[in-house]
Amino acid sequence: MRDQGSGPTLAKRQSCWLGAGVLFLLSALLILWWRAPGLPPTFPTAVEHLDRQIWLAGGANLFPKQYAAFHQEVTDFRQHWRVEVTRWWATWTLEEFTDTNQQLMQLGATLLTDTEKKALFQQNGLKDSLKAEQAQLVRLRRLNGLFDFRGKRTPLSHAESYLAQGLSHLAQGQLDAVPHLLMQAQVVIRPIEEILIRQMIRYSNEKKIAQWARWVKDTIEHSRQTGGSAMVVIKASRKLQFYQGGLLRHEYPTDLGFSGLQDKLYEGDGATPEGLFHIVQKKHKGETKFHKAFLLDFPTPAHQHRFSHARAQGLIPGNRGIGGLIEIHGQRPGQRELTNGCVALNNATMDTLFPLIPLNTPVVIVGTLDPINPVSKTLEPIQQHHTQRESVVQPSPIGLSRQVIE
């Protein structure tokens, strides 16, 4: 008797059951696939494009924490998508994927707007700083011929070049190099600026102006008491006043040394000395190359004392003496030029004064008699810019990180 569970019949049953199981499994998978919409086969590029826009706009530098967090979320979002699309069935629904993408797009859009606003603010700040330094350069250059500019022209030209390059980079949207160029210009300008401020500050110093006023008052009083002549030279306004019997008779324009608004310290500094002097020699036409001249008794004992004190402090070059031959003189034929420390008048004025001025006539040379004068007015914006620059933190470089965003 044959076994009912063996042979071809059993094999056929097993095949049927196996086929049914496979069919059921395929049906179940098909149903699951049909019921759950799948994730996009390609990752949406918009959010990564937005990430790069923020980076290019300077977000990594302007908002480092916020950008780092956003970039990490975008990276995690892409990695999550990569894992999900390789699964037989996704555990992340399309709705969840879409919500995450939209949230990142909104977050990135806000960060991009903030970055662009801050970048524009910094760009305008850099532009304002460059323009302000250019204006300061113009003010400083105008002092050439009034204060000591030896050794300053070339550095100022370099500063001018740095600022021009900075504005050029700025116009092209190349912000990285601009702060460094601005800083280079400021490094050049600052010490020159500080020297000139120290030289000019005397013209707004109340004590110094009061001293100058006493010198002038005493000289005019001496002229009144003696009935004689006197001359007052006011450097800030570049004018010479002629007194007789204590009364102002005439006022004439003057030229000074090439650093004439400084007080003379040593020979060759181009400064016009300040103080109380007397005329010790009258040089007629033919006795001087400057038409006619009044020689002053410089250096006086007061100037010699000042020179010795400055030398002891190391303020005098080792090969320089105190100087001399300070005159009030006319001009060489056909020329009007800055002197080496003298006071220059035109030849017609010298012809007028020459017979009126005897030997030993007192001459007082001062900086100014009025705290509001051409020098103090020029000093004010220079000093304001210097003070503002030193008190305000300059815009930092918007240097962009060059690492590749993965």
Asked if the structure places residue 62 within a domain, the reply is: yes
pLDDT of residue 7: 56
Establish how many alpha carbons lie within 13 A of residue 358's alpha carbon, considering only the half-sphere containing its beta carbon. Answer: 6
213 & 354 share domain? yes
Establish how many alpha carbons lie within 13 A of residue 102's alpha carbon, considering only the half-sphere containing its beta carbon. Answer: 6
pLDDT of residue 16: 63
Q: Compute the C-alpha angle 368/373/378, nearest 5°.
A: 120
187 & 283 share domain? no
Distance CA 393, CA 167 (A): 19
Q: How far is CA 53 from CA 8, 223, 405, in A?
A: 71, 80, 11
User: What kind and span of H or E run contains 118?
Assistant: helix 94-141
Asked if the structure places residue 90 within a domain, the reply is: yes
Which structural domain, as residue segments, surrounds residue 330?
206-371
pLDDT of residue 405: 29
Asked if the structure places residue 11 within a domain, the reply is: no
pLDDT of residue 279: 97
User: What kind and span of H or E run contains 243?
Assistant: strand 239-244
DSSP code for 253: E
213 & 84 share domain? no
Asked if the structure places residue 403 within a domain, the reply is: no
35 & 174 share domain? no
196 & 216 share domain? no
Which residues lie closer than 8 Å to 86 by C-beta, 6 or more apart? none
210 & 196 share domain? no
- Block residue for tokens 């001062």: 366
SS3 278: strand
CB distance 166 to 181 below 8 Å: yes
Q: Which of 116, 150, 169 is the last residue of a domain?
A: 116
pLDDT in tens, the chain (406 residues): 445 555 566 666 666 666 656 566 655 555 444 444 578 888 888 999 999 999 988 899 889 999 999 999 999 999 999 988 888 776 888 899 999 999 999 999 999 999 989 888 888 889 999 999 999 999 999 888 788 888 888 999 999 999 999 999 988 878 888 999 999 999 999 999 998 999 899 999 999 999 999 999 999 999 999 999 999 999 999 999 999 999 999 999 999 888 889 899 899 888 999 999 999 999 998 888 888 999 999 999 999 999 999 888 888 888 888 888 999 999 887 665 567 889 999 999 999 999 999 999 999 999 999 999 999 999 999 999 999 988 765 544 444 333 322 2
Can you say whether the dihedral through the CA atoms of 100, 102, 108, 114 is positive or negative? negative
Distance CA 51, CA 45 (A): 10
Q: Which of 52, 86, 116 is the last residue of a domain?
A: 116
State the burial class of residue 305 (Cβ atoms within 10 Å of its Cβ: 0-12, 13-18, 19+): exposed
166 & 236 share domain? no
Distance CA 285, CA 331 (A): 11
Distance CA 223, CA 221 (A): 5
Q: In the chain, how many domains are there?
A: 3
pLDDT of residue 123: 85
Q: Which of 116, 141, 156 is the last residue of a domain?
A: 116
Asked if the structure places residue 10 within a domain, the reply is: no
Q: Directed axis angle between helix 94-141 and helix 45-56, to 10°?
A: 20
State the CATH number of the domain containing residue 309.
2.40.440.10
Residue 200, phi then psi, degrees to nearest 5? -90, -25
Rg of the Cα atoms in the chain = 43
221 & 284 share domain? yes
Asked if the structure places residue 398 within a domain, the reply is: no
Asked if the structure places residue 378 within a domain, the reply is: no
| Residue 43 tokens, joined | 């990752």
306 & 188 share domain? no
160 & 28 share domain? no
Q: How many CB atoms lie within 10 A of CB 324?
A: 13
217 & 285 share domain? yes
190 & 211 share domain? no
Asked if the structure places residue 270 within a domain, the reply is: yes
